[in-house]
Copies of this chain bind each other. A is one copy, B any other.
Amino acid sequence: MKKEQRRAHILESALEVFATKGYHAATVSDIINKAGVARGTFYLYFGSKRALFDQLLDDLFELLHNSVKRIDPGRGAAGVLAQMEANIDAVLQLMLDNRAMLRILMSEAVGLDPGFDKKVYEFYDRLLELTSRSLVLGRQMKVVRPVDTRVVAVCIIGSVKEVLYQIAIGRKLPRRDVLVREILEYGVRGLLEPEVARRLGYHRSDRTK
């Protein structure tokens, strides 16, 4: 039991160090100093700095994955929207409550090396898959207009990611509830005034403008 605590403690310390200095600038010395353990202890629990970061990333992805629920179409269009909202809210809440993890996801886990890239790629793959599926579902329910679901899924993920990224690099944005609402509305109703949309030919569902 003590071991698991120790391990968790080192992991936490490393998380903070990585978030502050970045993966490359962070040294094992930084981590063990912060954790207050000996050098050897570090390697007792983690095979390498890289392996520890791997672990951190896996944990983060698992948390994120768990906070996103698959859409249940059973409750109609309004229900689907509510579920989408809940998902966005959960992701934002998770990441905003843990800025260190946010920085890891948004900065450190990017372009580290092919091995990491693969892991990140696969994570976004799962996320895109979930999103795409929801869009296809929406199409079947005649709720979503004809779109290229692959591309639009990317746009949706991108909106959430960018909000988080901007927060990660320090930009001040509104409170979480506003963020969720704006992201969602931007996605579902778009930017135009209904009246204008109609006038510009955006009132039909087909692609022939």
- A residues within 8 Å of B by Cβ? 22-25, 77-78, 81, 103, 106-108, 110-113, 117, 120-121, 124, 128, 135, 138, 142-145, 147-148, 150-152, 154-155, 157-163, 165-166, 169-171, 173-174, 178-179, 182-183, 185-200, 202-205
Contacts and interface: CB of A to CB of B under 8 A. Distances in A.
Contacts of A108: 111
16 contacts: A81-B200, A106-B111, A110-B110, A121-B170, A124-B169, A142-B196, A144-B191, A148-B174, A151-B179, A152-B182, A154-B173, A155-B186, A161-B162, A188-B190, A189-B190, A194-B204
Nearest to A111: B107
A155 B48 CA distance: 37
A4 B176 CA distance: 50
B186 A120 contact: no
Contact of A120 (B23, B160, B169, B189): B169
**How many protomers of this protein does the assembly include?**
4
Nearest to A202: B189
B151 A157 contact: no
A144 B192 contact: yes
Given A162-B161, A192-B188, A197-B194, A155 B183 contact: yes
B192 A192 contact: no
A25 to B, nearest CB: 6
Contact of A193 (B174, B192, B205): B205
A169 to B, nearest CB: 5
Nearest to A25: B113
A148 to B, nearest CB: 5
Contact of A143 (B178, B183, B193): B193
Nearest to A185: B147
A162 B169 contact: no
B200 A191 contact: no
